[in-house]
Structure 1
Amino acid sequence: MPVWLRRSLIALAVLLGLAVAAAAYLVASFDPNRYKGLLIDWMREHKARTLAIDGPIGLSVFPRLEVTLRDVKLSEHRRPDEFAALQEATLAVQVMPLLKQRLAVDRVSARGVRVNYRRDADGRRNIDDLLSPATDAKDAPAANASSQALAFDISAIEFKDLQATVKDVPLGLDGRFVVKELRTGRLADGAESPIRFVGQAALAQPKLNADVELTGQLKLSLPAGAPASVALRDLALSLRGDGFDVKQLDARLAGTLAYDGPSGALQADKLRLTLSGERLGVALKDSTVALDALRLDPPKRALRLDALDVKLTGQRGEDSVAAQLAWPKLEVTGDTLNGSALKGSASLQGGPAVGKLQMDFESQAPSGRFERIRVPGLRLAVQGSGAGRSVNGEVRSDLTLAPQPLAAALDALQLKLAFTDPALPPVNLALQGQAQAGAQDASWRFDGAINDQKFTAGGRADLSKPVPYVDAQARFAALDLTRFVAPSTGPKPPPAGAKPGADSPVDLGGLKALDGRFSFRAGTLVYPPYSVADAALEATLAGGVLRVSDLSGRAWGGRFAAQASAQAAADPAAQRIGLKLDATDVDIAALLTDVAQFRKLEGKGRVTADVTTQGASVQRLKQALDGKAAFQLRDGAVRGINLAKTLRQWRSAVTLNKDAVQASSAEEKTDFSEISASFDIADGVARSKDLSGKSPFLRVGGEGLVDIGRGRVDYLAKATVTGTAEGQGGADLALLKGVTVPVQLVGPFEAVDYKVQWSAVSADLLSGAARGALGDRAKGALGGLLGGSAAPSAAASGASAPSVKEQARDKAKEKAKDELKKLFGR
């Protein structure tokens, strides 16, 4: 062996020995756990977060650099709440490739990882501080303009038990994602690797609770300084659970997908989506969407679609549902377009009670260019019959599609529809207009007539937010709902003595489905028993709160204006409703009859109310009613009792000294020139202390309560005779002038009893309240009977002898007895 070679080998051996010895010493002497404090301090000082490393840090240097972490926790920025935590994570990196600007990772594994991610409506994320440079610039490495990004090469990834809690307001995501298992082979630029993913999504928004599984061959393209590209071959994706308003969802997607990052091009081959699930009572089974090929390349203005075929089959009870759509070919390159017409159909086949419904769909061949693909001559024919009902209609329009950004428009839209039902008036609808929709928004504008009643409608929708925003308006010159819907007979009161039925639930949860602003106008609005002129409605909906700022019109001979609100809540028992009403010059009898089938009060005047309530059912809403209400009426009447007729019987009633109870009679009423009352309402009970009624011969006051929740009244009215009323009592009533007659109203709304307290009238007479009614002739006699001083006093007459005083008293008593006998007809 040459000397130089032997010496070279010896030198190399010495160098290798020194390197091995140095590595051994480094591994033996270096303790990474000594640097825990530095990491914790750096995180606190530069990121304002608390880092806790409760487990040991493992480190090996050769033949690969491997770091292992255990039991690590990281707080939120400037808050003690947990942002992330992990039980164990390992990163193994090959050392030698780092010298060649290559990141060669042998293995990445993690177990028991928890992450909380948040993004607010303004786009601020709870990871922004982690992605920003360190606050101390001197700690950052100096930038090297000539440096190049490390080449990316990972031998394998293995994740288990990863959990991410996400609340992303702009995307409308709120819930939890769980990665049960994620395994890949080698991930490198241009390399194809198997991938397996098993996870679960439990979202409150959008509502989704499903298991997810994905397998396939993953290929990444990672060009330096450009967006990444990804391709999935032999894709098998499944989603099973409840979500997207579909129960028992089972969706499976197979095929090949590819996305080119630099150009934004999308490619799909042999895609097949199989669907099963239940929505709106329709159970879909083995429904498919198939597509042979799709190419979308916006920079090249190119679009290609081959053999789109949609087939849906389902069952709704005993009724079968089917639909299909076919678009054999569409190819667009710049301003050149070739393609075939669309064709499709949908059908409903049911029993005798449902009948049959058939819809056929077709179009002419498309034309246009990449930016504007026009599908003219779109036609949908509808025909159906069953159980005496029939429907016939047709929709015509021109469809315009825009691939980038994705949008669609219906131009020259015309709709004609005729519907008949034995229980309803015939309905004929005709409208024309246009509609547009994109990924972020939609708009529409229609003019038409329903049973010759003309209307205009329009609006727009913002679909970019988690909760869609809708701004809609409708205008009718006249809208008579009896011309196409069954007329309402209004609420029917239960029969007397009937037990209350089951309570009806009230759920305002639907108010959370969208936000918006709504406007409605009608010159006349008729829906018996209601008839309103100049009807107007203005309302807004936001965050589950409906606010009606204007609900007004002319009705019941007067005018009304109201504001209302309804607020949904996570707990239905906490949902709230409010109403403010001011009705002027209204016929109270007509109003109460239409709204509540209540026929006890008549008159014309003003009605006001300001009430709120909360609850999850009609009965609970009644029982929780709070607020105030009042009415002031003129030329009115209270039905159920005729006080004039009742008071004419006062002679015999007072003589018997017994209260009389009479049932409410629809034929009887007491007239008033004016009547008013106000109510304080709390917990469903309205209390009043200021009843005031006036007529030519009566003044009525009173107080009591109306239990709205239980549907009962307990009210004490006090009627005082003020003068003679011809035809309502005549001279008999004149004798009761100044007498107060209490009348107790007691019982359920539908069967109120009137208790005339004649015993109180007798006491009133005997106490002297009736002296004015008896006149001067009876006054002295009654005073003597009660032991009063009706004759001149002894001091005034100058008589001082007891015998004279006793004689005058005896004479007065005898005279009083005679007068009372005449008064009571005895």
Structure 2
Amino acid sequence: MKWLFRVVLTLAALVGMAVLALLFVPADPVVRLAAERIQQQTGRMLSVEGSVRATLWPRLGVRAEGIALSNADWAGAEPMMTARALEIGLDPMALIRGALAIETLEVEGAVLDLVRRGDGVGNWALPGQGSTGRVTTGETPSRDIRVARAALTDARIAFRDLGSGQDWLLEAVDLAASLPGLDGPLGLTGSALMNGVAFSVEGRVDGPVALAEGALTPVRLALRSGGSEVVLEGRADLDPVSFEGRLRVASDDRLALLRAVGGTPPDLPKGLGRDRLAALSEVTLAPEGSLHLRGLDLTLDGNALSGGLDLVPGEERPRVTATLQADALDLTALSREGQGGESALVTETGWGRETIDVSALFAVDGDLTFTSGPVTLGDATLDAVALSATLDRGRAVASFRPILAYGGEITGEWVVNGRGGLSTRAVLDLTGLQMQPFLTEFADFDRLVGEANLSVNLLGVGDTAQALMDSLDGELAFRVGRGEILGLDLAGMIRTLDLNYRGEGQKTVFDGISGSFAVTDGVMRGEDLAFDAPLLAATGAGEVDLAAQNLDYRLMATLRRNAESAGVTVPVLFQGPWSDLSIRPDLEWLARRELEARAREEAAKIEARVRAEAEEAARRAEQAARERLAAELEVDVESLGSREAIEAAIRDRVGTQLLDALRSR
């Protein structure tokens, strides 16, 4: 800051005069003269409340106590800077040569109150300067000056940004600097406490006056705290603040340095920087405030990624655009295996009931393109990953393009929406998946071996994994090619009618399985399961309770002796929790079917008997009616053996009676 140079140069220029003057004249006139010169150079009032005395040994200089420098008019009446003491020591031989060589410049107990207005102007800016103190008019200071050692001890520096509302406070500040010349490099070392976090700093500026005047100047800055280190090396400008160069970050304490600036170190799992984090990149901080990383090499524990990143400030939140690649990733810590069998999503007693924090979805907006080789997730492994993701106002959409996993590939979209509570939708197509590792990882079921195609369209709403599963709605369909069901010889069990039969290899080989399900409130229900195996066919119906991780399904299996035989049908029940599934013949259904068959047989017998009795009664009634009719018609009963004979007999009888009536007339 240019005002600091002006204050130091003015004081130093007066030191030589002050040393001699203080030996012969009172201190007050000398102090007033120094204050006047500083006011002329900076526009600020310098006051000295304590004593002022010259020193001849061990160095030529002056010491003043109770120093105060006034504030900008708009920043309040309190001084911008106060100090318990200020001591300046000069090189007398340099003074004789006409040069100003400061051997020591020590400020004890300084308190700086720095404020920046909403328009970017700081209270350290002097008339004719911008927010950083760049001089736009005025004389250029002499370059014939050097500072062998400058020190700031036990200082306190407060910074308030009225525009953003940020407040920073540095305490116990100890700084040491050296300046061989205004055109030479400024070296800086120091330490401080910020938000209770101790850190150290090392810096170098190749031309501090050039930097203050707005030139792009080579700089190097290193911050260290605990196990974290941040190093910047390149070229910088102060008005506006900009930088281009190299960034190096290393941490083995999960970036605890973030606490110094009021941040919270991320709770990183193993594989994502828990034990070691390192980054190396070309970095550009543009004048408009955007940050750009190129050639980024990122190490997270044993995982290495590369790529680039752009961060652009926004009105509500910054926007990040990133491209990342990895040869391979080990993310076992994110799986159940890596978390002792439990996680926020899955626990040993079911789905997780811990609230899922989605606040990170609102931290930034952005776009991500990510590719990787094999990704290890405990027992599961993704062979390759290619995805793109967008994040907009708390809504993330990941598009799989594709993900190669379990011998197949996954395409589609997965949406996670944090607006108004958590909701998620998956619209996915999974083709060529090997079901045994897939179901082992996601359903703790390892008995189904085969290659499958699945289509999924599911929506869940809730703030916990359990709530999400309870609310699932949508549909699911699958087709499994030739494979095996381990632990069950279904054909052998049906053939021998032995419930304990397992058979050699304890498995059922099948040619295909297909089915579809409608999902409502976390329960999948389906009626069209089809199972096809050599000499064995089956259909199935039932439900899979995803929320309760429970299965209740009946498989109607038909065993045939050969391709032409009708076969024997036996129901098999799949019941119980996923982790302890029971597979057994449905004896209850068999008994019920036997009872129903016997009931049908008895009903048929009764129906036949009743029908026979009714037919006999009808025959007898018909015979009696025929006899009565034969007597009335005065014919033989045997002649009335048919309907036609009866009608003919009636006609004959009527005709005879008509003839008799005519004759009698």
Same fold by TM-score greater than 0.5 = yes
Q: Give the Cα–Cα distance (whole angstroms) in 1 for the partners of residues 383 and 139 of structure 2.
A: 57
- Of the three residues 574, 582, 590, the one matched with 1:753 is 582
3-state SS of paired residue (1:742): strand
Unpaired runs of 5+ in structure 2? 1-69, 81-110, 142-149, 158-169, 255-269, 343-347, 613-665
Task: Tell me, yes or no, if the aligned pair for 1:490 and 1:529 is still in contact at 8 Å.
Answer: no
Task: Tell me, yes or no, if the aligned pair for 2:311 and 2:318 is still in contact at 8 Å.
Answer: yes
Letter in 1 for 2:441: D
Q: Number of residues paired by the alignment?
A: 466
3-state SS of paired residue (1:234): coil
Q: Give the Cα–Cα distance (whole angstroms) in 2 for the partners of residues 260 and 607 of structure 1.
A: 57
1:36-51 to structure 2, matched below 5 A, reads none
Compared CA separation, residues 539 and 381, structure 1 to 2 (3 A) = same
- Of the three residues 233, 239, 242, the one matched with 1:404 is 239
Aligned match of 1:461: 311
Compared CA separation, residues 480 and 396, structure 1 to 2 (3 A) = same
Task: Tell me, yes or no, if the aligned pair for 1:663 and 1:754 is still in contact at 8 Å.
Answer: no
State the structure with more CA Rg.
Answer: 2
3-state SS of paired residue (2:187): coil
Tell me whether 1:363 sits opposite 2:207 in the alignment.
no
Tell me whether 1:516 sits opposite 2:366 in the alignment.
yes
Aligned match of 1:448: 297
Q: Deviations over 1:436-484 (max 9, x none)?
A: 25563211123437489764221111114221111111112x12427x9
1:413-452 to structure 2, matched below 5 A, reads 413-414=247-248, 431-436=280-285, 438=287, 440-448=289-297, 450=299
Aligned match of 2:337: 489
- Of the three residues 184, 189, 195, the one matched with 1:343 is 189
3-state SS of paired residue (2:374): strand
Instruction: Kindly report the root-mean-square deviation, in angstroms, between the aligned alpha carbons of the 2 structures.
Output: 5.4
Compared CA separation, residues 568 and 416, structure 1 to 2 (3 A) = closer
- Of the three residues 594, 599, 610, the one matched with 2:457 is 610
- Identity score, percent: 22
1:83-98 to structure 2, matched below 5 A, reads none
Task: Tell me, yes or no, if the aligned pair for 1:628 and 1:680 is still in contact at 8 Å.
Answer: yes
Aligned match of 1:374: 217
Compared CA separation, residues 530 and 405, structure 1 to 2 (3 A) = same
1:615-654 to structure 2, matched below 5 A, reads 615-650=462-497
Task: Tell me, yes or no, if the aligned pair for 1:509 and 1:569 is still in contact at 8 Å.
Answer: no
Q: Give the Cα–Cα distance (whole angstroms) in 1 for the partners of residues 538 and 235 of structure 2.
A: 73
1:498-577 to structure 2, matched below 5 A, reads 503-550=353-400, 552-570=402-420, 574-577=421-424
Tell me by how many angstroms 1:714 deviates: 1.4
Q: Deviations over 1:746-803 (max 9, x none)?
A: 222222223523454466568779xxxxxxxxxxxx999985999xxx9xxxxxxxxx
Q: Give the Cα–Cα distance (whole angstroms) in 1 for the partners of residues 118 and 594 of structure 2.
A: 103
Task: Tell me, yes or no, if the aligned pair for 2:178 and 2:188 is still in contact at 8 Å.
Answer: no
Compared CA separation, residues 689 and 338, structure 1 to 2 (3 A) = same
Tell me by how many angstroms 1:547 deviates: 1.0
Q: Give the Cα–Cα distance (whole angstroms) in 2 for the partners of residues 309 and 467 of structure 1.
A: 38
Tell me by how many angstroms 1:323 deviates: 8.1
Q: Give the Cα–Cα distance (whole angstroms) in 1 for the partners of residues 116 and 249 of structure 2.
A: 41
Q: Deviations over 1:21-64 (max 9, x none)?
A: xxxxxxxxxxxxxxxxxxxxxxxxxxxxxxxxxxxxxxxxxxxx
Task: Tell me, yes or no, if the aligned pair for 1:460 and 1:472 is still in contact at 8 Å.
Answer: yes
Compared CA separation, residues 686 and 452, structure 1 to 2 (3 A) = closer
3-state SS of paired residue (1:364): strand
Q: Give the Cα–Cα distance (whole angstroms) in 1 for the partners of residues 140 and 501 of structure 2.
A: 82
Letter in 2 for 1:296: G
TM-score, structure 2 length as denominator?
0.57
1:314-329 to structure 2, matched below 5 A, reads 324=173, 326=175
Letter in 2 for 1:603: G
Tell me whether 1:479 sits opposite 2:328 in the alignment.
yes
Q: Give the Cα–Cα distance (whole angstroms) in 1 for the partners of residues 236 and 308 of structure 2.
A: 21
Task: Tell me, yes or no, if the aligned pair for 1:521 and 1:534 is still in contact at 8 Å.
Answer: yes
3-state SS of paired residue (2:445): coil
Tell me by how many angstroms 1:528 deviates: 3.2
Aligned match of 1:579: 426
Tell me by how many angstroms 1:598 deviates: 2.1
Greater share of helix: 2
- Of the three residues 696, 699, 705, the one matched with 2:537 is 699
Q: Give the Cα–Cα distance (whole angstroms) in 2 for the partners of residues 541 and 260 of structure 1.
A: 30
Aligned match of 1:688: 526
Compared CA separation, residues 554 and 324, structure 1 to 2 (3 A) = farther
Aligned match of 2:77: 233
Compared CA separation, residues 629 and 785, structure 1 to 2 (3 A) = closer
Tell me by how many angstroms 1:499 deviates: 5.7
Tell me whether 1:714 sits opposite 2:564 in the alignment.
no
Greater share of strand: 1
Aligned match of 1:669: 507
Compared CA separation, residues 463 and 300, structure 1 to 2 (3 A) = farther
Tell me by how many angstroms 1:561 deviates: 1.5
1:142-181 to structure 2, matched below 5 A, reads none
Letter in 1 for 2:516: S
Unpaired runs of 5+ in structure 1? 1-216, 221-229, 237-252, 271-293, 314-320, 351-356, 385-392, 654-659, 726-733, 770-781, 795-826
Tell me by how many angstroms 1:311 deviates: 6.9
- Tell me which of the two structures has the higher relative contact order, counting C-alpha pairs closer than 8 angstroms and 6 or more residues apart: 2
Tell me by how many angstroms 1:611 deviates: 0.7
